[in-house]
């Protein structure tokens, strides 16, 4: 049994309830978008500002660890170290 080509025409109800709801949602999305962009920008600026000082802190910690562990491994060092 071959059914052939059939076309069904169905009218669908409107999916978006009203224009006020859509406008409120779009305004909220734009506000959220602006807030996220400013948050990312501030985060990048803080990261750039602190990256240099954090490298100095980690370098200082590394140097302190090395100097404090030198006596534990019995290395001979000059008196000015």
Q: What is the pLDDT of residues 58-81, one digit of tens each?
A: 889 999 998 888 778 777 777 776
In a domain, residue 78? The reply is no
In a domain, residue 22? The reply is no
| Spatial separation of the C-alpha atoms in residues 38 and 32, rounded to whole Å | 10
The pLDDT assigned to 48 comes to 83
In a domain, residue 26? The reply is no
The pLDDT assigned to 2 comes to 55
Regions in the chain scoring below 50 on pLDDT: none
In a domain, residue 45? The reply is yes
In a domain, residue 5? The reply is no
Q: Which domain holds residue 67?
A: 38-73
Look at the chain and report how many structural domains it folds into: 1
| Spatial separation of the C-alpha atoms in residues 69 and 81, rounded to whole Å | 13
In a domain, residue 2? The reply is no
pTM: 0.43
């Amino acid at each position: 049994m071959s059914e052939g080509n059939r076309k069904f025409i169905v009218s669908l109800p409107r999916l978006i309830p009203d224009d006020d709801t859509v406008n409120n949602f779009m305004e909220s999305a734009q506000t959220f978008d602006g807030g996220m962009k400013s948050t990312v920008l501030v985060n990048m600026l803080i990261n750039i500002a602190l990256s240099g000082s954090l490298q100095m802190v980690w370098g200082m910690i590394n140097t302190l660890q090395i100097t404090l562990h030198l006596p534990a491994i019995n290395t001979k060092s000059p008196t000015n170290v």
